Amino acid sequence: MKRFGSLRGSKKRKDQGRSSERRKSEPHGLLASGLSSSPSTPTQVTKQPTFPLESYKHEPERLEARLHSSSSPPDTGQRFGPPPGQSVAKPPTPAPTLCNTSKAAAPPQPPAASEGMLEKLELEDEAVGESESDIYMRFMRSHKCYDIVPTSSKLVVFDTTLQVKKAFFALVANGVRAAPLWESKKQSFVGMLTITDFINILHRYYKSPMVQIYELEEHKIETWRELYLQETFKPLVNISPDASLFDAVYSLIKNKIHRLPVIDPVSGNALYILTHKRILKFLQLFVSEMPKPAFMKKNLDELGIGTYHNIAFIHPDTPIIKALNIFVDRRISALPVVDESGKVVDIYSKFDVINLAAEKTYNNLDITVTQALQHRSQYFEGVVKCSKLETLETIVDRIVKAEVHRLVVVNEADSIVGIISLSDILQALVLTPAGAKQKENETE
């Protein structure tokens, strides 16, 4: 297990960033290599940021243990890169690449990083009397994306000249759900390849089990992007390591994306991929030490959090191709599986679709959902459910511990009532209070 770097290390990173020799030794672009920079020991500083949990100042071992428990899993995936010792002096070859990113390689902070939306929260005496409703928003504003990046983690990067099929096989082999795309001509990252792309290809080109999906077998990533994006092309949404976690949450929800690459604006290096799950888990580490807002004790029905109308679902005998069509047409990420009595018995998510690539069964999408779910790569403990009468505090704790992306809201008969997602929760914890606070300020 790897450790997070210090949460209070903004000044350490500044000192670290001033080392020009360190910067010059960094490989540019993070590409086509399995190279990783060795961690360095941050410079000792005596003054720490004040937010938020002063009790941790006196309990360093406890903080260390909690951060240790949330670090990335060991790197056991298959590596796609040049053999050790081989120097890389050119842009990536058209092959998947596994990169080990280290927080020691983080960029120096620009002078303006401490201004504007990146301001640090200072809990002064006069702040004690303020409303606690925006405490999570202030927590997010006080931490940078850099704080959430593990000390060491793997990052898979694809060149756009790589074949689509090989790219999806590489995602499966490395146990990741998405990878940044590097375009050699532009010498920059131009997008992300995700499981949604795999679903879109199957949805668009699948005909029958008798007809091979040529586009999946032969197309390169760049060809697929040209055909699929066409006039809908949008620049890659990314964020700087010096941006606040509040900005990250806002960007994820506003752009309706699930993965946000952290890219150094100076070197162009990709450092990490932020997700809703990672951010909420980080927040949960400190929730017990912060004042608890009143809305955390309210239930879902009172707060109106989640989706409760026109819920899409499927049956155990629904063909996979029909489920994929619903994913694309409704732009949703999971489908509850409901039996004849209306009871929720399973859930089929976008992530389950990647098993079709793992099992190489994507040429027959006429099989049922039940048949497809027999090939789950991980043990399935059942659908994680909740009730509309449970409090938001309970919901947050359950979704973080279960490490899922959504909870199925059911009634007493176990029939589906709605869906509450990580995005819904972050919206309620961070953005909604922020909006309310902004209105209060405008009124004053």
Compute the average pLDDT of residues 301-315.
95
> For position 379, what pLDDT does the model report?
64
* pLDDT tens string 145-163: 999 999 888 899 999 999 9
CB atoms within 10 A of CB 141: 21
Q: How confident is the model at residue 129 (pLDDT cuts 50, 70, 90)?
A: very low
State the Cα–Cα distance between residues 227 and 216, nearest whole angstrom.
13
Q: How confident is the model at residue 171 (pLDDT cuts 50, 70, 90)?
A: very high
> For position 62, what pLDDT does the model report?
39
> For position 213, what pLDDT does the model report?
80
> For position 18, what pLDDT does the model report?
42
Residue 6 has pLDDT above 60, yes or no: no
Compute the average pLDDT of residues 217-222.
88
> For position 369, what pLDDT does the model report?
93
Residue 45 has pLDDT above 80, yes or no: no
Higher pLDDT, 46 or 9: 9
> For position 410, what pLDDT does the model report?
96
Pick the range with the lowest mean pLDDT from 1-5, 103-107, 332-336, 357-361: 1-5
Closest by CA position to 278, among listed 177, 157, 400:
400
Residue 60 has pLDDT above 80, yes or no: no
Q: First-to-last CA distance in the chain?
A: 49
Compute the average pLDDT of residues 418-424.
96
Residue 103 has pLDDT above 70, yes or no: no
Q: How confident is the model at residue 231 (pLDDT cuts 50, 70, 90)?
A: low
CA distances from 175 to 83, 87, 300 (A): 21, 26, 33
- State the chain's mean pLDDT as an integer: 75
> For position 301, what pLDDT does the model report?
94
Angle at 324 between CA 174 and CA 191, to 5 degrees: 50
Compute the average pLDDT of residues 368-387.
84
* pLDDT tens string 317-337: 999 999 999 999 999 999 999
Residue 46 has pLDDT above 60, yes or no: no
DSSP state string for 107-155? PPPPGGGGSGGGPPP---GGGTTS-GGGHHHHHHHTSBHHHHSBSEEEE
